[in-house]
Amino acid sequence: MTLPSKNKADNSVALQQNWQVNRQITLASRPVGAPSMENFNLTETQIPTPNQGEVLLRTIYLSLDPYMRGRMNDAKSYAEPVAIDEVMVGGAVCRVEKSLNDKFKVGDLVVAYTGWQDYAVTNGEELLALPKTLTTPSYALGVLGMPGLTAYMGLLDIAQPKAGETVVVAAASGAVGSLVGQIAKLRGCRVIGIAGTEDKCRYVIDTLGFDACINHKHPDLTPQLAEQCPNGIDVYFENVGGAVFDVVMPLLNPCARVPLCGLISQYNATALPDGPDRLAQLMGLLLVKRIKMQGFIVFDDYGHRYNEFSQAMGQWLVEGKIHYREDKVIGLAQAAKAFMGLLEGENFGKLVVEVGPLTLAN
Amino acid sequence: MTLPSKNKADNSVALQQNWQVNRQITLASRPVGAPSMENFNLTETQIPTPNQGEVLLRTIYLSLDPYMRGRMNDAKSYAEPVAIDEVMVGGAVCRVEKSLNDKFKVGDLVVAYTGWQDYAVTNGEELLALPKTLTTPSYALGVLGMPGLTAYMGLLDIAQPKAGETVVVAAASGAVGSLVGQIAKLRGCRVIGIAGTEDKCRYVIDTLGFDACINHKHPDLTPQLAEQCPNGIDVYFENVGGAVFDVVMPLLNPCARVPLCGLISQYNATALPDGPDRLAQLMGLLLVKRIKMQGFIVFDDYGHRYNEFSQAMGQWLVEGKIHYREDKVIGLAQAAKAFMGLLEGENFGKLVVEVGPLTLAN
């Protein structure tokens, strides 16, 4: 596979630096709200030396991704936080500078989680070798790397869009969103992007081929999105949260799927003056813990599998493996009172009303 | 299949009523908060007469279920609301009294959505015939009907519990919860119930065989649940919402599954004095619209499918079907500033930092 070649000039920029030191950007302090320069330190250390089995890597491209904001907090998310004075984490395309590991030789390009620094030593276990055919190595951090895999699996495995469905993509010009929308178009969906500038919206429509793109800073966001989604929203690929989700929420169709990929609007958020936003709390929890929450209406979703169920349950009942208790009320006139009790938890077992006697002669 | 026979005496209660009229319980007015008797009317009408192709049904058992509370509201949920002065909806086991439909004969027992009344006429299309082997016909409204199917599919299809996982079941002695927990035990899970009285908790443990059951009215609910779930919660079968969910939420494990079956604590709720509970709003939306919301962390969840993805995406790139844009920053020293911009949406395309030149001779 040969990928489109980038302008080689991009790669020939001579960076003015001393290659005898390892520059590192470390976490100086934890941000409250948006990070500022004082939260980071640029330090210089010795270039580390690989031992037997290890490789010395030099960073060529460092990926910057929104998830890194979470690692700057003290709270344990799905990964450990970066410690104070530790190097900021991150994926990178690196070149093998020295190798004491049979699997790698000098000059190999790899993807590694070496972080915000020039050099790192690793044992080679977590390294992903770049294919020689990849003429633009930085793509391994994007379209062919983590953001690409995120877009592909989040859309195709979690959301499973069908042709003709309406897919709304937050952060539509971003690393993930731009791919989500294009894949959805390839699957025959109507695709509406949401982005943060007019330039981005034009790019999303003209270059990426979305059907429409709406600027979330526009005061008419709500009616504009409704107008672009006349049949509601079947898939919402969430990268943003907050006010954008609020606008999407009422348009979600029955059986909509919402892959929760990111909540960038919340990453710099501090508690609201009137307490935490509990909707945002729940969504944050679902995201960082990779939780699936799914409403269902049993006959609509599973009516076609009634026979499978009734065979299994019937068997369990016959075998005495399942106990079942009824709370039986006699007389239709008791129904309203019994129902009110049901809502207060006063029943004990399945509540049924015996309305007419089963055995009365016709 | 022969099911355990119930005491026949249950079915021989002679109800004092006039079988020449059709009693109906109708919705007199819409409740605000908990329903009261004045929201219902008991009226008497003529017994309807079937036309060609139709059957006259007499209600034997009426099922009362929490979802009916939603139908009393004016808001469209997943189904239309009951109109004022209309018969309350509901599933029932009915006996065919008259039949002008070849598929049914007098005396047949069927499940039908005839509602809170003695008699109804239907065209037979939505009727489910009860198997002759079902010696306790009311089971068709519970363990072998809608609540049973709900428990079975919600647990096994949506949550897919694995042996050894911890499953927490709300409303554990109820029609659905009691079955969910027993099925989870059959699958080898640790099962913890939550119920509303000490009697129910004892029943859930002693008769249903759950590993533990906690009274949600107990002031120590939070530490008690934590103690019973030393490895966290892998599956939470939600029937309740509100304060019970708040206690469960922090114990949810990574990759937990939360089938949303009901939110009974919310059905009588009116708006909070300080505005709507947005977490409850979101969960209500997921429930009534049968929405799936799922957080994911791409390498943890889909790392094993990287090759599948990279082949597809590589092909699309080569074919020019996917456009990809990078926002490239030059120099490690620019990383912090670029990252701050990323969180504010200032990048345009995938943000990467070119740290070292790719082509520098070693």
Average of per-residue pLDDT across A170-194 = 97
Does residue B249 lie within any of the structural domains?
A: yes
How much is the pLDDT for B286?
Answer: 94
Does residue B2 lie within any of the structural domains?
A: no
Q: What is the CATH number of the domain that holds B124?
A: 3.90.180.10
Average of per-residue pLDDT across A331-336 = 94
How much is the pLDDT for B305?
Answer: 94
Interchain pair B174, A347: CB under 8 A: yes
Interchain pair A178, B268: CB under 8 A: no
pTM of the entire predicted model:
0.89
Handedness of CA A123, A127, A133, A138 (dihedral sign): negative
Residues B18 and B129 in one domain: yes
Residues B266 and B351 in one domain: no
Residues A59 and A127 in one domain: yes
Mutate to test the interface with A, among B149, B197, B240, B281 (most CBs of A within 10 A): B149
Residues in chain B within 8 Å Cβ distance of A59: 332, 355-356
Residues B157 and B281 in one domain: yes
Residues A181 and A87 in one domain: no
Where does a domain end: A117, A141, A165? A141
Does residue B320 lie within any of the structural domains?
A: no
Residues B153 and B170 in one domain: yes
pLDDT grade, residue A348 (50/70/90)?
A: very high
How much is the pLDDT for A2?
Answer: 38
Q: What is the ipTM of this complex?
A: 0.88
Count of structural domains, chain A: 3
Task: Compute the mean pLDDT over every residue in chain A, rounded to the nearest whole number.
Answer: 90
Residues A131 and A29 in one domain: yes
Residues in chain A within 8 Å Cβ distance of B349: 173-175, 178
Q: List the domain range (segments joined by +) for residue B346.
A: 325-362
Residues B279 and B155 in one domain: yes
Does residue A315 lie within any of the structural domains?
A: no
Does residue A13 lie within any of the structural domains?
A: yes
Does residue A310 lie within any of the structural domains?
A: no
Does residue A61 lie within any of the structural domains?
A: yes
Q: What is the mean pLDDT of each run of 10 residues along chain B (362 residues)?
A: 37 48 96 95 95 96 95 82 96 96 95 96 91 88 95 97 98 96 98 97 98 96 97 97 94 96 89 78 92 91 91 93 95 95 94 83 44
pLDDT digits (tens, 9 = 90+) for A265-282: 888 888 777 777 889 999
Interchain pair A15, B331: CB under 8 A: yes
Residues in chain A within 8 Å Cβ distance of B294: 158, 257-260, 286, 290-294
Residues B51 and B107 in one domain: yes
Does residue B99 lie within any of the structural domains?
A: yes
Where does a domain end: B233, B260, B288? B288
